[in-house]
With several copies, the nearest count.
Chain A
Amino acid sequence: MLKNKLASKDEIISKFFDGMTLMVGGFACTGVPRALVDLVLESGVKDIKLISNDAGDPDICQGRLYHAGVVAECWHSHVGLNPEFGELAKDGKFTLHITPQGTLVEKIRCGGIGAGGILLRTGMNTDTDMEKEREKITVNGEEWFIETPLHADVALVRARRADYFGNLTYRGNMANYNPIMAMAADCTIVEADHICDIEEIQMDTVKTPGIFVDMVYNTQKLYV
């Protein structure tokens, strides 16, 4: 019998703590684990280090964390969706590490696969802050950035389907960061549109193996 990882609201909230590094999957309003973001807000934890593609819609996505004033540091590729972000940033409410999108996802992957970093050249010679913050190395005559890993205490992941063990599938382009973040946290918590029994998801179609998942938010009555 595979472990039943269905977890209640209170069990999930018990995993959150002040100062935690939190990954939130999704891209703009697509594939964001909105109900899990609700639980972070409900928990009242603060000083969150937030890693997500963007600063989020302020009404329905992880942008709500900014609105609540609980973010202390953040890694994003884009912050233009959230009209509050600029004002809060000006007030020095948090430290922003703006990161090119393809670089951000590889930094997260490094955190998941136990790598010490990856060599990329996105942003090379732009003389931007992004470039200045990075060490460079020359390998085989070419110059590369050393992109260091990002790892989280907790990752919030949105899936289309999850079995109770945490085998996951996605739909369309709601996968985005979710399968990568699922690998890169001490505690990966999943919100799924459909929750099902094992073997209901044909094994060859699974995108995130359940070994990476710690909890599945039990939002539906599961008949097993």
Chain B
Amino acid sequence: MEMSHGSGQTLNDKNAMASRIARFFQPGDAVNLGIGAPLLVADYMDPDVLVHTENGCLGVGKNTSRTDPTVSPNMSLESFANAGGMPFFPIPGAMVFDHATSYAIIRGGKLKGTVLGAFEVSETGDLANWFMPGNFAGMGGAMDLCMSKMVIVQTTHCTKKGAPKLIHKCTLPLTCKGLLTHVVTERAVFEFIDHKLVLKEIREGYDLDNIKNNTEADFTVADDLKTDVVY
């Protein structure tokens, strides 16, 4: 589904979610972006938001590639690669550090937020995103990252088969229990308040009925619900 964007561009759903999530962050905030679709958030954020990659850099800049002729042939690329293995240029003043320090930043509460994908989200703020039968990769840093101040899930509202991803209770092994703060889908923005799911925004092109019909999780509607939100 492609929606009209404030700037006149149209954004596909992945980019649209990234665009909306980017607005949670202010210049100077430090943010970790999960592998895959969450990495797109970087394209929409204020350039002064600092991007953290758990394998040892805060201040991840533009992505590059191993065949970019403007960078040296291999070593510098091996020295700067994000958690998904994509080479990048560090920004001026970027910080690099070992893994113990990287997770000190995470657990120590220095990240304003983390953006993660999801298999399942529960109505009480649980997340399942690392283990699915036949798709076992390990939790990597996801369980640690859920200790950030804002833990934002970026996910399609439903699975490819049309089943809701926001459900009463996760059936898969959890990544965290009750630590989520926000869920952003291509249709709506939810916030967890006292471990209860609250609908805060509906994107333009969708209405409350659509959200209700496609969400198994119990949720309340915020008094200040915004509708027709342009991602």
Contacts and interface: CB of A to CB of B under 8 A. Distances in A.
B139 A113 contact: no
Interface stretch (B7-15, B88-96, B156-164): B88-96
Report, as a range, how many residues of chain A touch the other chain. 35 or more
Interface in B9-50: 27-28, 30, 48, 50
A42 B177 CA distance: 45
Residue among B53, B98, B141 with max Cβ neighbours from chain A (10 Å): B98
B63 to A, nearest CB: 14
A124 B179 CA distance: 10
B100 A77 contact: no
B225 interface: no
B104 A101 contact: no
B143 A79 contact: no
B32 to A, nearest CB: 12
Given A3-B28, A122-B143, A211-B110, A27 B56 contact: yes
Contact of A113 (B50, B104, B136): B104
Q: Is the interface of B mostly helix, strand, loop or mixed?
A: mixed
Report, as a range, how many residues of chain B touch the other chain. 35 or more
B99 A101 contact: yes
Given A77-B141, A176-B56, A176-B98, A126 B103 contact: no
A58 interface: no
Interface in A163-210: 163, 165, 167, 170-180, 183, 193, 198-199, 203-204, 206-207, 209-210
A212 B176 contact: no
B208 interface: no
B143 A126 contact: yes
A1 B217 CA distance: 41
Contacts of B6: none
B137 interface: yes
Nearest to A179: B98
A199 B81 CA distance: 20
A106 B103 contact: yes
A127 interface: yes
B93 A165 contact: yes
A173 B96 contact: yes
A30 B173 CA distance: 29
A59 to B, nearest CB: 14
A105 interface: yes
Residue among B75, B99, B143 with max Cβ neighbours from chain A (10 Å): B99
A78 B90 CA distance: 25
A177 B104 contact: no
B138 A79 contact: yes
Given A193-B75, A210-B93, A103 B144 contact: yes
Interface of A: 1-3, 27-31, 53-54, 76-80, 86, 89, 98, 100-103, 105-106, 109, 112-115, 120-130, 160, 163, 165, 167, 170-180, 183, 193, 198-199, 203-204, 206-207, 209-212
9 contacts: A29-B81, A77-B139, A101-B140, A102-B107, A102-B144, A114-B108, A126-B173, A130-B139, A183-B104
Interface of B: 27-28, 30, 48, 50, 53-59, 75-76, 78-81, 83, 85, 90-110, 131, 136-144, 147, 173-178
8 closest pairs, A vs B, by CB? A80-B137, A114-B107, A102-B103, A173-B56, A172-B79, A198-B93, A209-B95, A125-B177
